[in-house]
Structure 1
Amino acid sequence: MALTKCLAIHQLPSEELTLYLLIILIGLFFSTAGMAQSPDRSPAQETSPDSPPSVRRIGLPDTPFRYDHLDVPVRWVDVLSRLDNTPPDNPITDHGATLGRVLFYDTTLSANATTSCASCHLQKYGFSEPRSTSVGFRGEKVTRNSMSLVNLRFHSRGRFFWDERAATLEQQVLMPIENPVEMGHQLGPLVKQLSADPIYPPLFENAFGDRQITENRIARALAQFVRSIVSFGSRYDEGLRQVSSPLDPFPNFTEQENLGKEQFFGRARCAECHLPDHDSKSMNQWLVFQLKEPGNNGIDMDTPKSDPGVASHSGRAQDRGKFKPSTLRNIGLTSPYMHDGRFVTLDQVIEHYNWSIRPHENLDPRLAEFSANGMALPEVPKVALAAFLETLTDESLATDPKYADPFVGR
């Protein structure tokens, strides 16, 4: 049939053949145009944050997850309450943290609707990310690594970011939204945008009693969710529950892990910098695994002009090269390490302290004695120390549904 039709076409006069082919081409053009407008073949369009897509759906339980409850032994509660930076006017509530969770995962908080808080703070990586430095909404590189958000509630000093430029968590959660590299939005237009999005008015009403959406309420909800991200379900915590003294061998640890614990609290002296109140007998020093003050750990001899650390905010010479320390909890999930993500493995981090501490002008005094020869740990204790650090990882945190992306179909 097709061959017969083809032969018939070739037998037409040239003028008729030209007209015939023109009719076919016109038909193909309109057919293709119709296919392009077909709902099944509609081209991908960039989502405008000013007009939230009506098809967006969130999946939330009828009864909200428990965010206001801290599931730890009673003897830990008093210790943690003394470290808690939650302000009296913004306690964690289940509905408030639920709203914060939705905001945290919403890409329309960025100028081009491509980037959310969760883009750089991924649950499966302990709310950090595997890149050495973050990437903003236009694909531009940010100068620093994404710090883990785990247990920020218990940073008793209450200052945030690597350079501590935010005095409170309520301030911190808004800054990336307006940062021209990170998310590039503006809070005024964002308030109008969220007010027009059918997802949000009911969530704000549940959290705050009415449907009004403000910058302050956005900050409070995000801060509640971030403060709710706590981690005390590691093998270390399991062992700590089983002993009367944290210095005793943990019954759930291997011989190597207990040796590593001895190194951490003993010869390697890690605890002096990574646990608050180390010189006291308080339980603080066994729970939080983060230093109160910013410090310099000798990773550079000189302070790069491109990133002077805390000095970029304070302007003080004594703060050059100092950075806020990140928690060691979930360290097995939060690679790469340091403010610029220069170390990919725990072994590299330990090698730095073992042999490569640089004599910086603001080097922490506790490290100064090691700047010439390092800690010089032998191989067996060094490997054991890495094994102990892995016990601080809480695998359940990486999959807990109450911290997961609530948007359906992503």
Structure 2
Amino acid sequence: MLRFATLVGLALLTVLTAFTVRLDREPVLPETPYNYANIVLPEHFDGHAIRIADNTPTDNPITDEGATLGRVLFYDTRLSRNETTSCASCHHQDRAFSDPARFSEGFEGVPTDRNSMGLAFARFYQNGRFFWDERAETLEHQVLMPIEDPVEMGLTMEEAVARLEATTFYPDLFEQAFGTPTVTPERMAKALAQFVRSIVAPNSRYDQGRPYQQGRAQPLPNFTEEENLGLKLFSGRALCSECHAGDLMLNDRPLSNGLDVRPADQGAGAGRFKVPSLRNIELTAPYMHDGRFATLEEVVEHYNSGIQPHFALFASLRAPGLRSPIRMNLSEEEKAALVAFLKTLTDETLATDPRWSDPFVDTADG
């Protein structure tokens, strides 16, 4: 009996110790904050279309201190009910801040209803709405919603504030970011939004060749013949750029791409969903709001031969003069070329840039 009580006591001590370690974990941050406020973008990001796409509000510009606080909040498991889940649990840096799981798991292991969208270039979405169904009016609204969601993180804002106030380091971070140590949901939202807006990856092979391009859809000198064929198809016969437009390669309104005739998930209404940027698309599998496609090859085949006759199908995906979906009839060579081009949109530095990495990694497990 005594031995049993001892074992129970040791087990309880282990649990309490583990809880204390989680509670006392502190981030490892550089003495001088990383540069978030003045990230240099290439010249082709200076056009009017990209400038007006920037959804940064005037009352929440990106600052080095604000984004630093946002980075710590983004990776902190304190913001979930049982301290097991953070924003980064569903948005992995090495996957362009998306989730390799078809459906992300919440703090108790319950799956969510949709695949987690990648966060890179969230700053450049003109209408400023977020989630697949665009239910969040702004990024500042979006970043707090998973924390309070009963499946994802399961914490109230009052509880979140209390947990942050109880630490030794958050009041200082809030003071550096906002001038006083006061912790509020509004400040949490602003800091998280600053961090997410700072996540850009403009150094893909496409970006490296873009300044030398003689015109849109023209060959890039640093591309292979196959990649340039993919670029030509993307901007022409395959109609990809009708939905994924410009250098950002996205659309500013939700659309139906004909996944189902009668979709169970109505998204933003009438089966329409937010159109994500194709930048870093190689890293963000699986694809679509429900993660139904595991590979880029499957995605290309959907547009080649699998578009369904949904009543709200985007006009460019309909056969000319008809309501039926188009059929691309691409050859195997052309489909492979499209995939090759899409892979040129990957910025390899995003996956390892310390500005967006986990600041708690060196203090994990005490």
TM-score range, shorter chain: over 0.9
How much has 1:73 moved relative to structure 2?
Answer: 2.8
How much has 1:43 moved relative to structure 2?
Answer: 2.6
How much has 1:53 moved relative to structure 2?
Answer: 4.2
Change (3 A) 1:373 1:191: closer
* Aligned equivalents of 1:55, 1:111: Cα separation in 2: 16
Normalising by the residue count of structure 2, what TM-score does the alignment of the two structures yield? 0.93
Match of 2:298 in 1: 348
* Higher RCO structure, 1 or 2 (CA under 8 Å, sep 6+): 2
* Aligned equivalents of 1:356, 1:111: Cα separation in 2: 42
1:406 matched to 2:359 = yes
How much has 1:204 moved relative to structure 2?
Answer: 0.4
In structure 2, what residue type is equivalent to 1:119? Answer: S
Equivalent positions of 1:34-53 (< 5 A) are 37=10, 43-45=14-16, 53=22
1:246 matched to 2:216 = yes
Unaligned runs of 5+ residues in structure 1 are 1-24, 276-284, 312-319
Match of 2:40 among 55, 62, 71: 71
Larger Rg: 1
1:308 matched to 2:277 = no
* Alpha-carbon contact 2:97-2:119 (below 8 Å) kept: yes
Change (3 A) 1:145 1:237: same
1:113 matched to 2:66 = no
* Aligned equivalents of 1:86, 1:128: Cα separation in 2: 21
CA RMSD in angstroms comes to 2.1
Matched residue count: 359
Q: Deviations over 1:52-102 (max 9, x none)?
A: 845412111100000012322345324332211000000000000000000
How much has 1:190 moved relative to structure 2?
Answer: 1.1
In structure 2, what residue type is equivalent to 1:145? Answer: N
Match of 2:102 in 1: 132
* Alpha-carbon contact 2:204-2:347 (below 8 Å) kept: yes
Match of 2:333 in 1: 380
In structure 1, what residue type is equivalent to 2:267? Answer: G
Change (3 A) 1:334 1:211: same
Q: Give secondary structure in 1 for the equivalent of 2:282.
A: coil
Q: Give secondary structure in 2 for the equivalent of 1:332.
A: helix
Match of 2:313 in 1: 363
In structure 2, what residue type is equivalent to 1:33? Answer: T
Normalising by the residue count of structure 1, what TM-score does the alignment of the two structures yield? 0.83
Equivalent positions of 1:202-221 (< 5 A) are 202-221=172-191
How much has 1:303 moved relative to structure 2?
Answer: 2.1
Change (3 A) 1:185 1:377: same
In structure 2, what residue type is equivalent to 1:368? Answer: R
* Aligned equivalents of 2:325, 2:181: Cα separation in 1: 61
How much has 1:368 moved relative to structure 2?
Answer: 1.6
* Aligned equivalents of 2:225, 2:13: Cα separation in 1: 61
1:87 matched to 2:57 = yes
* Aligned equivalents of 2:236, 2:118: Cα separation in 1: 26
* Alpha-carbon contact 2:95-2:284 (below 8 Å) kept: yes
How much has 1:33 moved relative to structure 2?
Answer: 3.0
* Aligned equivalents of 1:183, 1:333: Cα separation in 2: 25
